[in-house]
Amino acid sequence: MSDWMKIVSDFQSELMRWEKDLFAMPELGFKEKQTKAYLLNLFREQNVQIEDFGLSGFSVSIGQGKPHVGLIAEMDALVVTNHFMASPSDGAAHACGHHLQSAIMAGVMKLLVTQKTVTQGKVTCYFIAAEEYVDLDARKQLRDQGKIVLLSGKQNLIIEDRFKDVDVLISCHTMGATDRPKMEINSMLSGFVYKKYTFIGKSSHAAVAPHLGVNALSAMALAQSAIGLLRETFREEDLIRVHLMSTLGGQSVNAVPSKTVLEGYVRSIDTNILTQVSEKIDHTVTHSAQALFAQVEIESTPGYFPLKQSEELSDVLRPLMVDCVGENIVNHQKSFAAGDIGDCSLFVPTVQFGFSGCKGVVHGADFCMDNPTEALIYPTVVTLGAVERLLSDVKVLNNIKEHFQPLMTIEQYKAFHGV
Ligand SMILES: [Zn+2]
């Protein structure tokens, strides 16, 4: 096995330069023009194959045939207008550390080339757009123009069957600020459904003739109370969250509100529970509206599926992590957060391991890298070690694949999304 710690440490100044540059060019999902050009430029005149996926990103491959190890880096930022490096034009900021992923995975690919590690099989790194589920109006516009089909980067690559040939997928993500150097494996992410409830009533003079109106705001208030009362049926282990907010409360203060809107997410760590709770909330809202003689229109948009990681693939990473941070490895955390990496885990044995070395609040105004050893070198070393092992040890890879059961087919996924 190569001495990756030494090789990557010697490469630290490159990684740090890329991190700094990418941090300074935050772009929202499907708008990562500069980021994509910057990353593509790193691979110019290298002996690699590049495939362009348009707005959804691109891939870089080394070698050919099997085994085929897939890597994932996310390219997008999110809107945190008061972040100290926020883009003045749209408030985009790398407050979720995706720029670190891009630097790490670019480093992995570069070093695989220079160290001539891929002597058999193939490694493909996907640099992917739009992980954060934000800026939705702009994305819906792109969808209406036919430039994307679904609203996140990985979702589009999945329906284009871009991961068809890979045996595994490895990705990484910041753990945020930690009290000591740490890494994380086998954590679970929640899934979510986006909900929009439009309550329809009937307008009338609020003081003179409220008896002639139907109050859509009252219907919404009753629905919110009823959802609150439903919460005692949520089990802790299912990690259910229902967070809705009103984005329209009425039309005029002297008229009975004829239209109100309540929108937000329903989340759970379990796909079946997510569907059940989503239906329960629909039921509760519908009958609350009916109870007050109003109507409700329901819009449900599938967000992301829960992330279920491959334990067998995590077993490959674990000893490599121990070499970096000792036993400070967080295992089997359940998170309310969600990511479209969950959708990948439906089809391919997938891991998204966590790394430390950042400070500030994730998605907050002060988030940034703090310690390059933890936030750049360790994850690069772990990924390189895992790639090398997977390419050379067929038994390990076969064991991962044998223990993996796809949760649906691409056709079922498309049908689920109605595309
Ligand atoms: Zn993120």
pLDDT of residue 70: 98
Name the band, by pLDDT with cuts 50, 70 and 90, for residue 68. Answer: very high
Q: What is the per-residue DSSP string for 123-158?
A: EEEEEE---S---HHHHHHHHHTTS-SSSSHHHHHH
Fold of the CATH domain 191-302: Alpha-Beta Plaits (3.30.70)
pLDDT of residue 1: 57
Q: How far is the CA of 354 from the centre of ligand 1 (A)?
A: 11
In terms of DSSP bridges, do strands 191-200 and 295-302 run parallel, antiparallel, or are they unpaired? antiparallel
Q: What is the per-residue DSSP string for 279-327?
A: HHHHHHHHHHHHHTT-EEEEEEEE--PPB---HHHHHHHHHHHHHHHTT
Q: Domain limits of the chain?
A: 4-190+306-417, 191-302
Q: How far is the CA of 96 from the centre of ligand 1 (A)?
A: 5
Q: How far is the CA of 75 from the centre of ligand 1 (A)?
A: 10
Structure tokens at 413: 């996924």
Say which amino acid occupies 207. A
How do residues 22-46 score in pLDDT, each as one tens digit? 999 999 999 999 999 999 999 998 8
pLDDT of residue 414: 95
Give me the mean pLDDT over the 339-363 stretch. 97
- Strands of 49-144 (E only): list them: 49-52, 57-63, 68-74, 78-79, 92-93, 122-128
Which residues contact residue 229 at a Cβ distance below 8 angstroms, ignoring those fewer than 6 apart?
none
Q: What's the angle, vertex CA 129, arms to CA 36 and CA 154, rounded to 5?
A: 140
The residue written with tokens 């391991």 in the block is 353
Name the band, by pLDDT with cuts 50, 70 and 90, for residue 298. Answer: very high
Q: Which residues are close to ligand 1, an ion, with C-beta < 5 A? A: 96
Q: How far is the CA of 64 from the centre of ligand 1 (A)?
A: 30
Q: Which CATH architecture has domain 4-190+306-417?
A: 3-Layer(aba) Sandwich (3.40)
What is the C-alpha to C-alpha distance for residues 22 and 298, in angstroms, rounded to an integer? 40
What is the C-alpha to C-alpha distance for residues 419 and 416, in angstroms, rounded to an integer? 8
Indicate if the pLDDT at residue 385 is higher than 90.
Answer: yes
Q: How far is the CA of 384 from the centre of ligand 1 (A)?
A: 21
Environment class of 224 (CB within 10 Å of its CB; exposed 0-12, middle 13-18, buried 19+)? middle
Q: How far is the CA of 402 from the centre of ligand 1 (A)?
A: 30
Distances (CA, A) of 197 to 61, 151, 260, 289: 45, 20, 8, 10
Q: How far is the CA of 57 from the centre of ligand 1 (A)?
A: 16
What is the C-alpha to C-alpha distance for residues 125 and 105, in angstroms, rounded to an integer? 7
Q: How far is the CA of 97 from the centre of ligand 1 (A)?
A: 7
What is the C-alpha to C-alpha distance for residues 357 and 377, in angstroms, rounded to an integer? 10
Distances (CA, A) of 340 to 73, 171, 195: 12, 12, 18
How do residues 160-175 score in pLDDT, each as one tens digit? 999 999 999 999 999 9
Contact predicate 414/302, CB 8 Å: no
What is the C-alpha to C-alpha distance for residues 327 and 85, in angstroms, rounded to an integer? 34
Q: What's the angle, vertex CA 69, arms to CA 153 and CA 62, rounded to 5?
A: 90
Q: How far is the CA of 359 from the centre of ligand 1 (A)?
A: 15
Q: How far is the CA of 51 from the centre of ligand 1 (A)?
A: 24
Q: How far is the CA of 160 from the centre of ligand 1 (A)?
A: 23
Distances (CA, A) of 142 to 126, 135, 145, 148: 21, 11, 5, 6
Q: How far is the CA of 197 from the centre of ligand 1 (A)?
A: 27
Q: How far is the CA of 241 from the centre of ligand 1 (A)?
A: 19
First-to-last CA distance in the chain? 45
Q: Please state the pTM of the whole predicted model.
A: 0.90
CB atoms within 10 A of CB 17: 11
Structure tokens at 41: 């430029």
How do residues 130-164 score in pLDDT, each as one tens digit? 999 989 889 999 999 999 999 999 999 999 999 99
